[in-house]
Amino acid sequence: MNNAYAEEAKMMLSSKGYKLTRPRLVILDYMAGVSGHPSIQEIYEGILINYSGIGIATVYRTIDLLVEIGYLRALVLLNNQLRYELNLPDDHHHHLICKACGVIREFNSCNFNSISEEIEDTTCFKIEEHNLEAYGYCSDCLSKKAGYSTENM
């Protein structure tokens, strides 16, 4: 639960002139406490449990706002589905996605910096960010795979 980070975001919203309404506070807190990388639908359903009045349009609008102020970060996976996670400062990581069950794990190793200058030189681009996703099979699915053996996963 990233309370301090959530409080910071509330102050940020407020200082930018955005009102601290109930739906905004609920979504913000929900994201501070959630584990995993929920989609809009999952966020909506997760919040409905404790706050039955919320509308999905508000979830879309609020998540966009939270991405805009830098509180959240959007993740685009190969199946073309958007998912969201906290955009904590100094938390540079990437994602490893299981092609069988879809589970997402994070990893921190990243040696992109060692090649980024070379790429800038050869392409004349100024690079600001990068995304790295690896796809494969998690240990659970690997053992199932070994079990059924002939399955083509």
Partner DNA sequence: GTCGGTGCAAATCGTTTGCAGAGCC
Partner DNA sequence: GGCTCTGCAAACGATTTGCACCGAC
The secondary structure element, H or E, covering residue 95 is: strand 94-98
For residue 124, the partner it binds in DNA, its own copies, none, with Cβ less than 5 to 8 A by kind, is its own copies
Phi and psi torsions of 75, nearest 5°? -120, 125
String of DSSP letters for 52-87: TT--HHHHHHHHHHHHHTTSEEEEE-TT--EEEEE-
Dig out the tokens for 21 from the structure: 């309404």
**Binding letters toward its own copies, positions 72-111, x by CB under 8 A:** --x-xxx-x-x-------------x-xx-----x-x-xxx
- Based on CB atoms, which residue is closest to its own copies, 122 or 149? 122
**Residues that bind DNA in the complex, under the rule CB under 7 A:** 14, 17-24, 39-41, 53-58, 60-62, 64, 81-82
For residue 55, the partner it binds in its own copies, DNA, none, with Cβ less than 5 to 8 A by kind, is DNA
- 16 contacts its own copies (rule: CB under 8 A): no
